[in-house]
Amino acid sequence: MADTATAPTPHVDVLIVGAGLSGIGAAYRLQTRARRTTYAILEARDVIGGTWDLFRYPGVRSDSDVFTLGYPFRPWHGSDAIRGGTAILAYIRETAAAYGIDRHIRFGHRVVAASWSSSEARWTVTALTEPGGRTMTYTCWFLYLCTGYYDYRRGYEVDFPGRDEFAGELVHPQLWPAELDYRGRRVVVIGSGATAITLVPALAAEAEHVTMLQRSPTYVVSRPARDRFAGAAQAILPARLAHRVSRAKYVLLTVSGYQLLRRWPQGSARLLLRGVARQLPASVPVDPHFTPDYDPWDQRLCLAADGDLFRVLRDGRASVVTDRVDTLTAKGVRLGSGKHLDADIVVTATGLSMVSFGRIRLMVNGRTVDPAATVVYQGMMFSGLPNLVWSVGYPNNSWTLRADLTARRLCRLLNYMRRRGYAICVPDPGEASAAAGPDAGPTRPLLDLTSGYVRRAADQLPRQGATRPWRIRTNYVTDLIALRLGRVRSAGLRFGARARRRGR
């Protein structure tokens, strides 16, 4: 008689989804701060790196300093504060190898669904393997989503009239073809966000001419790519201490700078525009090309490292046009004003698409979860979702700052639950004590930005509440105090004892 026994479903304490910057950092924290915890990482792609492996367009780089973008436990070497995507990708992969994290990764596993059972106190996670599409099942105590909130499958595409008429090459930066040759060719980049600001000077180095075509401008700040202070600190201090000093410097600068811009928006806008005007040629007026119709940090500020965007505008290798697209033609772009831009290549840097929970279908005790019906708790957990954490970075600072705080907080939570014998932890607005004030109250979008990609996804993403802990902080210093020093068992968090000790 044939043996009909099946292999047991793999089980770990924490299942991390995503082997990018957040996932690798999360694994390190579990190894060092929750040592009894078993974990595995499921990665849909076949390599480590996440966003930094996905985006391969020319000039891709960090738009925040690497001292805060990097891990606090692994110093950056060198005095360059702004680094290219290749260097960041190598840093992530070297970190995974240095701490043995790479041995815990299952590549080619795209998580598509996860179902929670309160009676079992566990998640059952379904993944499709690539290639082949074979279904794999895992179980875990905690599900840790390090997927970010961008759709990896595709960016946001505008259906411009005349797309089929254009005889040149039409490219979206998220799907940049490695074989694309732009040398000596005329390029139009449609967009004014961080991607466009990065692409234009990189393409201008070899293209015949690059035009940045924007419907509306954004705030652009120039920052030196190299930090002399960091170089001096590394010359006289041990590597880890120098890294901490440089990291602290940028934390203070970014937090205080953000507060200044938000509290005094009109004066701050004048300062930003004055800085831009000093770097522009006379042929490019600040208004309308660099004068947004919103306050600073209503949308993200864009970075021009060493003023590279302004340099190519001064050199005449690039130009900026503020107008709307009427239609694509066989030879380029016709604008609303009637002007025509000749182009061999059109790059649609029109933005990204946001998704909730990595597009994973979530169920709790047989009920399908609508992400938009949940409210974020302490910037990491969500109402009605037991034993689940989603790593979401700061919109106004380095992603890693909050991602690392989230990982440390989870370790504290795991250790607390083990000591007290708890199996389940779920945010519940009804658990807020009278001393803690009201519950989540009226809700608002997850991110306090007016950017197009945020507005388009507002009705699909989780919400934030009116008061803490249901409201997301944008201040790393106050988050640091609350998440590192605050009580684990706080208002709004409900714990449950283990019903059955199975699989652990």
Q: Quick check: 504 pLDDT over 50?
A: no
Average pLDDT over residues 300-311: 95
**Cα angle value 91/63/65 (rounded, 5°):** 60
Average pLDDT over residues 261-272: 94
Q: Quick check: 266 pLDDT over 90?
A: yes
Q: What is the SS3 assignment for 435?
A: helix
Contacts of 484-487 with C-beta under 8 Å, sequence gap 24+, read 484/405, 484/408, 484/409
Average pLDDT over residues 471-491: 89
Top-tier CATH class for 163-348: alpha beta
Q: What is the rounded distance in angstroms from the CA atom of residue 20 to the CA atom of residue 131? A: 20
Q: What is the SS3 assignment for 162?
A: coil
Enter the tokens of residue 485: 């020093």
Q: Are 142 and 320 contacting, i.e. CB atoms less than 8 angstroms apart?
A: no
Average pLDDT over residues 81-95: 96
Name the amino acid, one letter, at 127.
Answer: A
Q: What is the rounded distance in angstroms from the CA atom of residue 193 to the CA atom of residue 197? A: 6
Average pLDDT over residues 448-476: 86
Average pLDDT over residues 235-264: 93
What angle, rounded to 10 degrees, do the helices at 239-263 and 265-277 form?
A: 110
Nearest to 200 by CA among 319, 117, 73: 319
Enter the tokens of residue 190: 């449609």
pLDDT at 5: 46
Q: Are 139 and 127 contacting, i.e. CB atoms less than 8 angstroms apart?
A: no
pLDDT at 255: 93
pLDDT at 7: 65
Enter the tokens of residue 318: 């690039």
Helix (H), strand (E) at residue 127? strand 122-129
Helix (H), strand (E) at residue 263? helix 239-263
Question: What is the pTM for the complete model shown?
Answer: 0.93
What contacts 399, CB < 8 A, 6 or more positions away? Answer: 21, 22, 64, 69, 393
pLDDT at 6: 56
Name the amino acid, one letter, at 330.
Answer: A
Tens of pLDDT, residue by residue over 206-226, are 999 999 999 999 999 999 999
Q: Do domains 11-152+354-497 and 163-348 have the same CATH topology?
A: yes
Task: Point out the least confidently predicted range of 128-142, 209-223, 357-371, 487-501.
Answer: 487-501
Enter the tokens of residue 399: 């992603």
pLDDT band at 440 (very low <50, low <70, confident <90, very high): low
Q: Are 457 and 354 contacting, i.e. CB atoms less than 8 angstroms apart?
A: yes
pLDDT at 435: 39
Enter the tokens of residue 183: 């040398």
Kindly report the average pLDDT of the chain as a whole number. Answer: 91
Top-tier CATH class for 11-152+354-497: alpha beta
Q: What is the rounded distance in angstroms from the CA atom of residue 383 to the CA atom of residue 373? A: 9
Q: Is 442 exposed, middle or buried (0-12, 13-18, 19+ CB in 10 A)?
A: exposed
What contacts 334, CB < 8 A, 6 or more positions away? Answer: 162, 325, 326, 327, 328, 340, 341
Tens of pLDDT, residue by residue over 114-147, are 999 999 999 999 999 977 779 999 999 999 999 9
Domain ranges in the chain are 11-152+354-497, 163-348
In the block, residue with structure tokens 């772009």:
333
Q: What is the rounded distance in angstroms from the CA atom of residue 157 to the CA atom of residue 307? A: 28
Average pLDDT over residues 85-109: 97
- In the chain, the N- to C-terminal Cα span, in Å, equals 33
**Between residues 64 and 130, which one has the greater pLDDT?**
64
Tens of pLDDT, residue by residue over 270-292, are 999 999 999 999 999 999 999 99
pLDDT at 4: 41
pLDDT at 431: 64
Q: What is the DSSP string of 336-386?
A: TTS-EEE-SEEEE-----B-SGGG-EEEETTEE--GGG-BEETTTEETT-T
Name the amino acid, one letter, at 311.
Answer: R
pLDDT band at 308 (very low <50, low <70, confident <90, very high): very high
Name the amino acid, one letter, at 449.
Answer: L
pLDDT band at 446 (very low <50, low <70, confident <90, very high): confident
Rg, C-alpha atoms of the chain: 24
Q: What is the rounded distance in angstroms from the CA atom of residue 67 to the CA atom of residue 247? A: 5
State whether the Cα torsion 400-401-403-408 is positive or negative: positive
pLDDT at 452: 80
pLDDT at 447: 82
Task: Point out the least confidently predicted range of 40-49, 150-159, 318-327.
Answer: 150-159
Tens of pLDDT, residue by residue over 387-414, are 999 999 888 899 999 999 999 999 999 9
pLDDT at 294: 93
pLDDT band at 183 (very low <50, low <70, confident <90, very high): very high
Enter the tokens of residue 218: 């954004």
Nearest to 11 by CA among 205, 141, 134: 141
Enter the tokens of residue 334: 């016709």
Q: What is the DSSP string of 173-231?
A: GGG--TT---TT-EEEEE--SHHHHHHHHHHHTTSSEEEEEESS---EEEE-SB-HHHH
In the block, residue with structure tokens 């996440």:
50
